[in-house]
Structure 1
Amino acid sequence: MSVKLRLTIMSFFQFFVWGAWLITIANYWFGTKHWEGTQFGAIFATMGIASLFMPTLMGIIADRWINAEKLYSILHFLYAITLFYLPTVDDPQVFFYVILLAMCFYMPTLALSNSISYSALTAGNYDLVKSFPPIRVWGTVGFIAAMWLVNLTGNKATAHQFHIAGAAAVALSIFALSLPKCPPRNTNKESRTFVQTFGLEAFKLFSDYKMALFFIFSMFLGAALQLTNAYGDVFLDEFKFYPKYADSIVVKFSTVIMSISQISETLFILAIPFFLKRFGIKNVMLISMFAWVLRFGLFGLGDPGTGLWMIVLSCIVYGMAFDFFNISGSLFVESSTNSHIRSSAQGLFMMMTNGFGAILGSLVSGWVIEHYFTLSFTDISSLASYLHTEASNSTLLKLVQEHGISLADNGLLSAGIHLKDWHNIWLAFAGYTLIIAILFAIFFKHKHEKAD
């Protein structure tokens, strides 16, 4: 098997084992476990917490003591074990700690997979610029494939999504042992300071006004990046409570609809070189921010009926919103730092977006949604009024019963039912990103020299 094929398979399953549950875990949390929304925000914060220290720590281990592909194999095996254990957990607090452990094993493999690919391609005398993107794009394909598999097999709200991801992670762990050898590169005994060892020199960049401003805005925009991953699929799924939308394709295939976002990613990557040359890094990042405004705004105004086009367009816009900021941001860091701290600076960029930003967005959004945008209903008539349907509608009664709630006397529900005010939730998120975009345009100064 060729090196490029092996790396392609690795890339496919690297994201398959994540995509099998990342977008659908909200359906499991709210629809199957019926746990609180505030605590769910903490679940997505685990990725940020793990990103603060695990990639750096595992990178040091791979650089000094153990082959990267072996460490990669070990981490995926441990990740699989935690995924298999998740369905046995019935306490949301314990669930948080198990997910956190899973993320501590998984998040470092994102960087390790890149290191393994770069090392193998370089050793094989391949052109990295030409060879790596076609390999990496199969990661997005793997993510999409996992989403489709979970949705089309009816497992988007069940524990089997974790079983699917765990089984694939075990297979990837075994397959990783066949990858090209990637031995430690920094085995010299030269003494290094604590700051040098842990790549903390990059924090000196905060003394530069422009770089400090860039990292701060990266954190605040990073807070928005996880919102659609956390709530997108459950938002579409909750249209099942509206009788006129209950049998729509959006409800039946919500995860497939959401996968349009990942498909869009693969297409917008191709447009980045043109936009960067034409408009410059600052304007491309601004385009990304306004794309986030559209992403959230279209979700807030769309529905599975006449507003279906808005939901689909929102998913298409996601590719621009996600790719344009992440890639142009990393290029800005690359061009604004020297070679001695470049890798650490890239790590700092990821830490601010996927670390601190993700934690901020996950925890704050969970609290805000639970306290200001969650509606509680204790009787069938008030629920029917909110959903704009008749109280005796058999479809509505059936949906309530499917939610695990029976009807008591006089139309009262034996237990309260909670729905999210998604219209205002998404508009609030759109307002947040609009403010970030305006402030970025005003305060971040970066001159672009237009290419000929």
Structure 2
Amino acid sequence: MSIGIRVQLCAMMFLEFFIWGGWFVTLGTFLGNNVNATGGEIAQAFSTQSWGAIVAPFVIGIIADRYFNAEKILGILHLAGAVLLYLMYGTDNFDLFYPYVLVYMILYMPTLALVNSVSFNQMKNPAKEFSLVRVFGTLGWVVAGLLISYLFSWDSEAGISQGLLKNTFLMTAVASAILGFFSFTLPKTPPKAASDQKPSIKELLGLDSLELFKDRNFLVFFISSILICIPLAFYYQNANPFLVEIGMENPTGKMTLGQISEILFMLLLPYFFTKFGFKKTILVAMLAWVIRYVLFAYGDIGELGFMLIIGIALHGICYDFFFVSGQIYTDSKAGEKYKSSAQGLITLATYGIGMLIGFWIAGKISDTYLLSDGSHIWETIWLYPAWFALGVMVIFALLFKAEKIAYKS
């Protein structure tokens, strides 16, 4: 891979995750404080991510694998997304906001698989090369959080009271437009599946990648991916409101410690693959999620503030060792024909089905432990995902048979 192509892929990843991190982290805080949304409504807004992820495999299966170049689809989706983000910026009523965010996430979630497909298409050895590109996505998320907290102070007490969090949507609308136009300059990623034969309905909908379920290990991984994303939804939905509610200063900026740790562990991922194998890497990620939620349950902004910081910093292990290694594992299992649809399939499992269930549960539990003064019993709320993550870890350890992924040094 040439330096020029590597730079393009890194810029693509930076913008892709700058956009997502630039509004999604503070969404719960924005809706709760500036739109007066209930816990159920906040869960409903976060669940749009899951509906988008459920649609994603069909978009990828129908279009990217068979008819049009992935980079062109990526550009069109982000240009349309820029318009929707701008509409969200001008909306302060939940009934109006929800349709915009729903359509936006239906358009955005397929792009997660598309940027992976564009990247993998340029790589001879994804297990070694992908993490060095994907780390720029993490950097984009970090920069977005730092801008929100430390440059603009949109998540400060004064910023929230003045309704400044809506500016996150304007910032990301601009970034989405930039990525939309930039995508048309990316390396060509043509459809992989054969176009000289009439596809079946199964192939047309991208369901041909379901053939991967014949592999018992992949089926166990797929189910575990769904289950582990239920506790993950608690973090996405509740972490920022939790830190704001207990009085942490610059909460969004401090949450970027999780993404900073992602950079470190992203670079360590090839070593873990070689030294410990895929199964142990996944188990370490699951254990980190258990520890993180226990730290959130018992930490505070006083003497135990270090527990919150460690819990945030564990995000690098939680995310990289599960999601990024899972993307590489899926790519190794899929083969050339199903690269795009297989990535869409794992997006369906994680950001789709798993988090859809998780957001609903997190909303119900948050409302259950909501006090009359508007505060929450956070210790109890955080122990729910801790116990669930522990259960998933045990199931995966017992059912997944250790195997090595092809890795070239």
TM-score interval w.r.t. the shorter chain? 0.7 to 0.9
Give, in angstroms, the shift of residue 58 of structure 1: 4.2
Task: Give the distance between the partners of 1:185 and 1:325, measured in 2 at CA.
Answer: 26
Give, in angstroms, the shift of residue 13 of structure 1: 1.1
Give, in angstroms, the shift of residue 322 of structure 1: 1.6
Alignment-derived partner of residue 70 in structure 1: 72
Alignment-derived partner of residue 239 in structure 1: 246
Which residue, 375, 393, 400 being the options, matches 1:437?
393
Give, in angstroms, the shift of residue 46 of structure 1: 1.1
Q: Residues 406-421 of structure 1 correspond to what in structure 2 (within 5 A)?
A: 418-421=374-377
Amino acid at match of 1:264: S
Task: Give the distance between the partners of 2:178 and 2:328, measured in 1 at CA.
Answer: 34
Distance 1:283 1:376, change over 3 A: same
Give, in angstroms, the shift of residue 310 of structure 1: 0.6
Task: Give the distance between the partners of 2:134 and 2:196, measured in 1 at CA.
Answer: 34
Q: Considering Cα pairs closer than 8 Å and 6+ residues apart, tell me whether 1 or 2 has the greater RCO.
A: 2
**Is the 1:59–1:112 contact (alpha carbons within 8 Å) kept by the matching residues of 2?**
no
Q: Does 1:155 align with 2:111?
A: no
- Report which of the two structures shows the higher radius of gyration computed on alpha carbons: 1
Task: Give the distance between the partners of 1:426 and 1:36, measured in 2 at CA.
Answer: 19
Task: Give the distance between the partners of 1:65 and 1:336, measured in 2 at CA.
Answer: 23
**Is the 2:66–2:193 contact (alpha carbons within 8 Å) kept by the matching residues of 1?**
yes
Task: Give the distance between the partners of 2:258 and 2:9, measured in 1 at CA.
Answer: 24
Distance 1:432 1:87, change over 3 A: same
- Name structure 2 gaps, 5 residues minimum: none
Alignment-derived partner of residue 117 in structure 1: 119
Task: Give the distance between the partners of 1:216 and 1:435, measured in 2 at CA.
Answer: 13
Deviations 1:226-281 (A, max 9, x none): 321221111111123xxxxxxxxxx2211111101111111112333343444433
Q: Residues 285-300 of structure 1 correspond to what in structure 2 (within 5 A)?
A: 285-300=282-297
Q: Does 1:137 align with 2:92?
A: no
Alignment-derived partner of residue 318 in structure 2: 321
Alignment-derived partner of residue 215 in structure 1: 222
Alignment-derived partner of residue 283 in structure 1: 280
Judge which range, 222-231 or 130-139, deviates more: 130-139
**Is the 1:281–1:328 contact (alpha carbons within 8 Å) kept by the matching residues of 2?**
yes
Task: Give the distance between the partners of 1:255 and 1:285, measured in 2 at CA.
Answer: 27
Alignment-derived partner of residue 376 in structure 1: 372
Q: What SS does the corresponding residue of 1:178 show, helix, strand or coil? A: coil
Distance 1:337 1:162, change over 3 A: closer
Q: What SS does the corresponding residue of 1:159 show, helix, strand or coil? A: helix
Taking only the aligned residue pairs, the percentage that are identical comes to 32
Distance 1:340 1:68, change over 3 A: closer
Amino acid at match of 1:358: M
Distance 1:162 1:201, change over 3 A: same
Alignment-derived partner of residue 260 in structure 1: 257
- Length, aligned pairs only: 395
Q: Does 1:361 align with 2:358?
A: yes
**Is the 1:45–1:363 contact (alpha carbons within 8 Å) kept by the matching residues of 2?**
yes
**Is the 2:37–2:94 contact (alpha carbons within 8 Å) kept by the matching residues of 1?**
yes
Deviations 1:110-142 (A, max 9, x none): 2222333344x46xxx76565543332111111
Amino acid at match of 1:429: P
Alignment-derived partner of residue 404 in structure 1: none
TM-score by length of 2: 0.87
Q: What SS does the corresponding residue of 2:314 show, helix, strand or coil? A: helix
Which residue, 175, 193, 196 being the options, matches 1:189?
196
Alignment-derived partner of residue 267 in structure 2: 270
Deviations 1:323-382 (A, max 9, x none): 222244345545666666565444333211111001010111111211x211113xxxxx
Q: What SS does the corresponding residue of 2:375 show, helix, strand or coil? A: strand
Which residue, 163, 176, 183 being the options, matches 2:183?
176
Task: Give the distance between the partners of 1:324 and 1:103, measured in 2 at CA.
Answer: 25
Which residue, 203, 214, 221 being the options, matches 2:210?
203
Task: Give the distance between the partners of 2:310 and 2:360, measured in 1 at CA.
Answer: 28
